[in-house]
Structure 1
Amino acid sequence: MKYIFFVLCWWLAGTLSAQQLKGRVLEAGKDGNVGLPGANVYWLGIPGGVATDVDGNFAIEKRPNGRLIISFVGYASDTLEIGEKDHYIEVVLKAGHQLDEAKVFKRGQTTIMNTKSPVIEQVITGEELCKAACCNLGESFTTNASVDVSYADAVTGAKQIQLLGLNGKYVQMMTENMPNFRGVSVLYGLNYVPGPWMSAISVSKGVGSVTNGYEAIAGQISVDYKKPQGSEKFYVNLYGSDEEMFEFNMNGSIHLNDKWSTALLVHGDWMEKEHSMHHNGFLDMPKKAQYNLMNRWAYKTDAWFVQFGGKFLDENRLGGQKGFREEMRHQIGEGNLYGISINTRRYEGFLKVGYLMPQYENTSMALLVNYTDHDQESYYGGYEYDARQRSLFMNYIYQSIFGNNPNQKFSAGASFNYDNYDEIFGDYKRTENGLVKNTPVNPQREERVGGVFFQYTGTFWTKLTLMAGLRYDYHNLAGGFVTPRFHIAYMPDEMTTLKFSGGKGRRYAAVLAENAYLLASGRSVNVAGQLLSGRPGALKNLDMEEAWNFGVLLNRKFLLFDRLLNINLDYYRTDFSHQVVADNETRPGMINFYNLDGDSYSNCYQVEIRYELIPRFDIMGAYRYNDARITYSAPEGLRRVRTPLQSRYKGLINLSYYTNMKKWQFDFTTQFNGPGRLPGGNQQFESFQLMNAQVTKFFRKWSIYAGCENIGDFTQKHPIIAADAPWSVDFDASRIWGPIHGRKFYVGLRFGFDRD
């Protein structure tokens, strides 16, 4: 109660605010006006100002009979005379105009908290992504306090997200609001989205909207790709590091006429050099080559909006001990080199159709379709794991209002999801003659889920917004179930937002696919009491995972020295009633997957502060505390422990400064990672600090950037257990809690032609 009392007192103390001018900044285009996020709004001759939110809305302290300036890079600035009777304004900025050299450029917020929607959501803009090299989605959260990305093991290069103290498989990953990177692609999907392809990333904590499905437990992350109608005519990004990793990105778009446009996006990255700074005979990261191609089309009229396209990816990873080659894969056992290989070929196709019904005001419908075919061939020493997943997602959404009141809205629709898993798992047994192959296991699974949903959103007294949703789904393996969710937002004034969220999430675990990195060890695999060793046939089905999540957020803004101080406080609680436990510590030499018997929960507390200390010098500081625990079914009985390999706290400081006219930009980030529990007992790993820095020089149509990651050159000592005996049962490369490679220098170039 003392924490609640403190928060309420702090909130009430700041609710007295000056009279404010409200408004909205819009972007003019051929297809109508839309809100422009991140635009700068400030009074002439007075330091400080505000930035528009994701819908283009703003609120600024009113100064009667003053001149208000609206600006955004690449748009013509506008200056308005504001009188005493002006309380609300709308401004339309026109794109394609160069700013006069005598004007001072002013940057808006690059990470935007969505205060208008009841969903707790942050939008990471393209400008925020440019604060680091951001080679792919997995490297896009360096400056984000909520999302952690770390290596899953020391040999494959697989990365996993952590959100609210939970593993990334509990985060619903989406591309443009369509579920993606599930099952087989969970471990490597973060590398499948090149950084320069993204226009923004939306991060929502806790349960999301029921319109996107039932799988979000810890949160939702949705990536927006560059679109044909709004991206550059031509853009190139080149990158190289001292590790001899090279990357090429290119995208271009063509407007065929006033209705049709298309875009082509190309990506390639390569690293062929062998790195082994730990002197254990193993590569710190695998050699890799990836080729990625995407083509998308857009068609738009006053009533119809259609997007469709396809994507192709080919990626090869080869790692393990130095000197290992692909042709050595069948040479296993003592005296042979240990190697890993993951070869992936992936096809995607999508269709989005939207229709604004002119005969009914505020009414529209949309159809979303996404298909993926993911084929992966891999081996980890003597373990072979091949998997093919074919997935189809379809979602129909109808949106309208009740009566003639635009503040009372609803969404209704139906969805269908299909997943086909075809997996082959092969291992070996130890005999007097060495290691001998067992008969491969060929588990196959087909999931079909049909669902319907309804969601209500209402605004009351202009201050309170309520979103309540309910969906029913029928899973061919788990049966029928109901998913309730709610979100509440209360804004007593334009400087204060209080949000609550709660609801349930479910998911069906793909045990081998989501935990394949654990195969980088000498352990045998046991699923629901079934040892996967020479047992052909289907795996036993484990329970569908189910959890409740509740969260609260308080966002408060203060005007301090004529500049905006932004403070976020949030807390989330996740409780599992059903969970698939991946236990690699209670039984020596074995990885066990079984249904939870006992408690499993996570508490996550976070505070985040953003402030422009002096003109053009932004500071962001954050602190997060995780308390995540799980119950293991050990031979001696149930044992509840802290989730292993997870830092108990994280601190983050990000400093960003740009010179007048934005000719130079300097970015520096420090992460403070706390200690955590090591698997197998109560031993702790140490706390550590990571520092990254980048300098960018801007020119008219291009820019160059250079930086250093892990400036302090900190690495986890002995990341591989029994590295000198990789064919033994003691070998383990999956116990990773810190960086596995040290200091890295890089340089890059960005060049582009925008539209006139």
Structure 2
Amino acid sequence: MIRAIAGIALLLIPDTLYAQTISGKLFGATETGMEILPGGTLQLTGNGATVRANENGVFVLNADSVSDKRIIASEPGYITDTIDPGRRTYLSITLRRNAHILKGVTVKDSRAAYLANTAVKTEVITQRELSKAACCDLAGCFGTQASVQPQTTNVVTNAQELRILGLSGVYNQVLFDGLPMIQGLNYTYGISTYPGTVVDNIYVSKGTTSVLQGYESISGQINLESKQPDKAEQLYLNAYANSFGEAHFNANVAGSVGKKKRWHSLLALHSVQPAAKVDGNHDGFLDLPQLKRYMAYNKWRYGNDREHGLYIQTGLRIVQESRTGGQTGFDAVRDLGSNTVYGQSVHYTQPEVYLKTGYRFSTRHAIAFAAAAYFQDQHSWFGTTKYDARQRSAYLNLQHEWQWHRRHSLKYGVSYRYQRLEEQIGFSDNSLGRSFAGHYRTPLSVPGAFAEHTFRWRDEQIVLITGARIDRHQVWGTYFTPRAMLKYAWNNHHTFRASAGSGWRQVNLFSEQINLLVGSRDVIFTEALKPEQAVNWGVSHTYRFDWSAAVNGTLSADFYSTHFRNQFFPDYDTDPTKAFIRNFEGVSHSNGLQVEASLVFFKRLEFRTAYNYLDVYRIENGSKILLPFNPRNRAMAALSYRTKQDRWQADLNAHWFDRMRLPNTSSNPDAYRRPAFSVPYATVNMQLTFRYRKSLDIYAGCENVANYRQPNPIISADNPFGKYFDLSSVWGPTRGREWYIGVKYRIL
């Protein structure tokens, strides 16, 4: 209580009493201006006190009782400078590039994963962190993290989603280069089509986030930032193969064109070749699908959005993919739609394009425009169910950025979201009497307007972001979405955050609930589905410490609570042979607590551990019903060690999952029943990497070292055309131990 009163009193003290504090921002000179230098070192000559600039380049030094207030500013790749502040208490420091050091070298952040010093608690996963695992696609990039849980939605085709706060992946917004590219039909397999080789950083935020990207992000946001053409390796090659026979090949080429070399381009090619047919648990079904994928991605960049003048960023990507799974004897050419050999076959083509451009008139004014569009054409068979779908989507966003005061900035604008999703469902054999064949249309046309204000006080010691948007759905009318985020940095060590806001989203039924198509359940529609709505609030505390020059780390804790006003989840419990589709407007809550610790020893040994508590439930008929597939308790630990010359790197991570509630199968025959809860289990993954002259990496590893498998994951696997065949009770690993080896080659 005394500390809280003292903290409030400190906020009320006039600026003049803080004359013993020197603060400012650290920049680095560029060819056309300057850029922020996050992580730069500032040292006070008088007492040797040292701090690092945060992610926004801001630093604060305590110069109390120090006679020599000169500051030594340094950053790898830049010339160290000594600045005498005189009587000034605020400095803007710009370091010049060291041409000898930077020639032919790309400077990267030395941290593998860290918490950004932003108003929203944001975890940043860098390329260095991604190197700790094979990270073949986006779903495989979270093995050393606790906030995101990859979850399989269809075990036969290995469709996956990314869960935050124990909620389905549909409730968190997945962005690519800040744009909502994964939605609707693309949701089913979209996260698997982004290889780790094109990733620069991944930003993970839980709970309420900015209104600038839209009205979604109910449980959080994942922003996948691709490599920048002007900073990427000139050549990057990666080849990978696992013990099942699946192979991945990647090639990136980057360069600049034009007389002044102001246009920069990145071309990324990605290919996956199918595995052999493997049935390790002998249930007659393949442990992983035979996957074939080709992807090409070309990104162009001109200028810089932080510098005066025009900037342009544009990208074009095309994906062609096929997945084949099912019984080991299934032939994708001979047995499509067969009622004697069960199989699943998915083929789709998806081209997409985006543009981000703008013009910065001054440090105070800038306009920005973003546009994205994609098309997907998909042809699928799930047993005797034929599913064909097409989707056209577009996104437009125009905004003005106005720094109207040193402490205040405003962003406001208009947006438009368009979707036309058409799905055709039919049956080659309908002996089970399923009733949901037909043509389905899921349109979306939502114009919107938004505004977001940011208030910064005492060099971002306090940051308050308030925003709101108004959007109009073509059927359900107008939605108001307010959000607020607050950060208070008590000092250089302690940071407190709080957030609150609402969100909503339209349901895309079959693409988001693929299990409705792959089993034998009949789908029963009881009413039209309304958009889902929820309110989320959360609080967090972060403690950063430097025990010595050899040991530093971070402790953090956060709690988020989500309250749904309307929610949809297929009712699998009432009848195991049916799935009922209805709105749920009763009490539905998700409460999530996470405690995490991260330690770094001698800049070579990293240790991270985290614990998650999830309470995700509904109140039905006065009783608390846990939502399925959510472990009440979850824990992880990760250990990474690099030798002094960075020649060898060893990584190990372990995950433990508590039991989960499963769909009710008590009315099934004995052979097809499953327990009400799963059993706790753990997985361990490891990798060893050898580096040669910073150009060649050879890595090998093993996932699921203990070879743990969920017993009998597929209900009625012996009779896949019977009425009890069901894939909706998969809760753990199904394909056992996986060895892999790979090689990377780069020219910087």
State the TM-score, normalized to the length of structure 1. 0.88
Equivalent in the alignment of 2:294: 291
Determine if contact 2:78/2:95 at 8 Å carries over to the other structure.
no
- Cα distance, 1:745–1:58 mapped onto 2, change above 3 Å: farther
Partner of 1:200: 201
Amino acid paired to 2:420: N
Of residues 588, 612, 615, the one that matches 1:600 is 588
Q: Which amino acid aligns with 1:664?
A: W
CA 1:439–1:472: 2 relative to 1, 3 Å: closer
- Corresponding residue for residue 281 of structure 1: 284
Deviates more, 1:46-55 or 1:589-598: 46-55
CA contact (8 A) 1:520 1:734 kept: no
Q: Tell me, which stretches of 5 or more residues in structure 1 are unaligned?
A: 530-540
The answer to whether structure 1 residue 678 and structure 2 residue 678 are counterparts is no
Count residues in correspondence.
Answer: 713
Corresponding residue number in structure 2 for 1:544? 531
Q: Using a 3 Å threshold, how does the CA distance of structure 1 residues 396 and 679 change in structure 2: closer, same or farther?
A: same
Does the alignment pair 1:647 with 2:631?
Answer: yes
Q: Using the TM superposition, give the Cα deviation of residue 210 of structure 1 relative to its aligned residue in structure 2, in angstroms.
A: 1.0
Equivalent AA in structure 2 for residue 676 of structure 1 = M
Alignment partner, residue 705 of structure 2: 711
1:549 partner letter:
N
Mapped contact 1:50–1:108 kept (Cα < 8 A): no
Distance change in 2, residues 1:207/1:305 (3 Å)? same
Q: Residue 699 of structure 1 is aligned with which of 687, 692, 697?
A: 692
CA separation of 1:69/1:699 partners in 2, compared to 1, >3 Å: closer, same or farther? farther
Partner deviation per Cα, 1:57-100 (whole Å, 9 max, x = no partner)? 4567889799968454xx35747599999976735363775599
* Contact 1:51–1:58 (Cα < 8 Å) also in 2: yes
Aligned residue identity for 2:438 = V
Tell me the equivalent position of 2:669. Answer: none
The amino acid that maps onto 2:588 is: S
Corresponding position: 1:248 with 2:241: no
- Residue number among 323, 326, 332 corresponding to 2:329 in the alignment: 323
Change beyond 3 A, Cα 1:449–1:83: closer
Q: Does 1:630 align with 2:627?
A: no
Contact 2:536 2:562 in 1 (8 A): yes
Question: 1:579 offset after TM fit, Å?
Answer: 1.1
The answer to whether residue 391 in structure 2 is matched with residue 389 in structure 1 is yes
- SS for the counterpart of 1:212 is coil
Note the 1:481-500 alignment, pairs <5 A: 481-500=479-498
Matches within 5 A, 1:471-620: 471-528=469-526, 541-562=528-549, 563-620=551-608
> How many angstroms apart in 1 are the aligned matches of 2:498 and 2:626?
27
1:222-241 Cα distance to aligned partner (Å, 9 max, x none): 11111222212111111111
Of 362, 371, 374 in structure 2, the residue corresponding to residue 372 of structure 1 is 374
Instruction: State which drifts further: 706-715 or 31-40.
Output: 31-40
Contact 1:54-1:112 within 8 A present in 2 as well: no
Change over 3 Å in CA distance of 1:481–1:436 after alignment to 2: closer
Spell out the pairing of 1:722-733 with structure 2 (5 A cutoff). 722-733=716-727
* Higher mean C-alpha deviation, range 689-698 or range 621-630: 689-698
Change (3 A) 1:451 1:437: closer
Q: In structure 2, what is the equivalent of residue 536 of structure 1?
A: none
Q: Which residue of 1 aligns with 2:743?
A: 749
Query: Conserved in 2, the CA contact under 8 Å of 1:600 and 1:629?
Result: yes
Q: Answer whether contact 1:68 1:82 (CA < 8 A) is retained.
A: no
Q: What is the Cα deviation at residue 605 of structure 1? A: 0.4
Provide the rounded CA distance (Å) in 2 between the counterparts of 1:623 and 1:167.
19
Tell me whether 1:125 sits opposite 2:119 in the alignment: no
Superposed CA deviations along residues 243-284 of structure 1, whole A, max 9, x for unmatched, are: 211111111122113322222111111123111111001001
- Cα distance in 2 for residues equivalent to 1:615 and 1:173: 32
In the aligned structure 2, how far is the partner of 1:715 from the partner of 1:555?
A: 37
Q: Contact 1:50–1:59 (CA<8 Å) still a contact in 2?
A: yes
Q: What does residue 363 of structure 1 align with?
A: 365
CA distance in 1, matches of 2:480, 2:180: 19
Partners of 1:684 and 1:369 in 2: how far apart? 45
The one-character-per-residue Cα deviations of 1:422-460 (angstroms, maximum 9, x if unpaired) are 1011236654xxx68989400123211000011111123
Shift of 1:172: 0.8
2:345 corresponds to 1:341: yes
Range moving further from structure 2, 52-61 or 701-710: 52-61
Aligned 8 A contact 1:528 1:542 in 2 = no
Q: TM-score, normalised by structure 2?
A: 0.89
Question: Taking structure 1 as reference, are residues 661 and 512 closer, same or farther at Cα in structure 2, changes over 3 Å only?
Answer: same
2:158 alignment partner, SS class: coil
Report the alpha carbon displacement of residue 52 of structure 1 after superposing the two structures with TM: 4.7
1:353 to 2:353 alignment? no
Residue 728 of structure 2: aligned partner: 734
Alpha-carbon separation, structure 2, partners of 1:439 and 1:152: 21
Which stretch shows the higher mean deviation, 375-384 or 552-561?
552-561
Partner amino acid, structure 1, of 2:295: N
1-structure distance, mates of 2:441, 2:657? 40
Aligned position for 2:149: 148
Moved more, 637-646 or 476-485: 637-646
TM-superposed deviation, 1:6: 13
Change (3 A) 1:207 1:107: closer
Q: Deviations over 1:630-681 (max 9, x none)?
A: 356xxxx675411111111211111112111322222111112111112117
Per the alignment, residue 422 of structure 1 pairs with 422
For 1:720 and 1:7, how far apart are their aligned partners in 2?
56
**1:537 matched residue in structure 2:** none
Q: Which moved more, 1:458-467 or 1:186-195?
A: 458-467
The code of the aligned residue for 2:741 comes to V
Match of 1:532? none
Check whether the contact 1:467–1:488 (CA below 8 A) recurs between aligned residues: yes
Question: Identity of paired residues, percent?
Answer: 29
Give how far 1:329 is off. Answer: 3.6
CA contact (8 A) 2:44 2:61 kept: no
The 8 Å contact of residues 111 and 128 in structure 2, kept in 1 or not, is answered as: no
Residue identity opposite 1:523 in structure 2: R
Q: Deviations over 1:503-552 (max 9, x none)?
A: 000001001111013422211112235xxxxxxxxxxx311100000011
Distance 1:732 1:670 in 2: 30
What is the root-mean-square deviation in Å for CA atoms of aligned residues? Answer: 3.1
Cα pair 2:482 2:501 within 8 Å, conserved: yes
Go from structure 1 to structure 2 and tell me whether the alpha carbon gap of 1:288 and 1:39 turns closer, same or farther (over 3 Å shift): farther
Q: 1:320 to 1:753 in 2, by over 3 A?
A: same
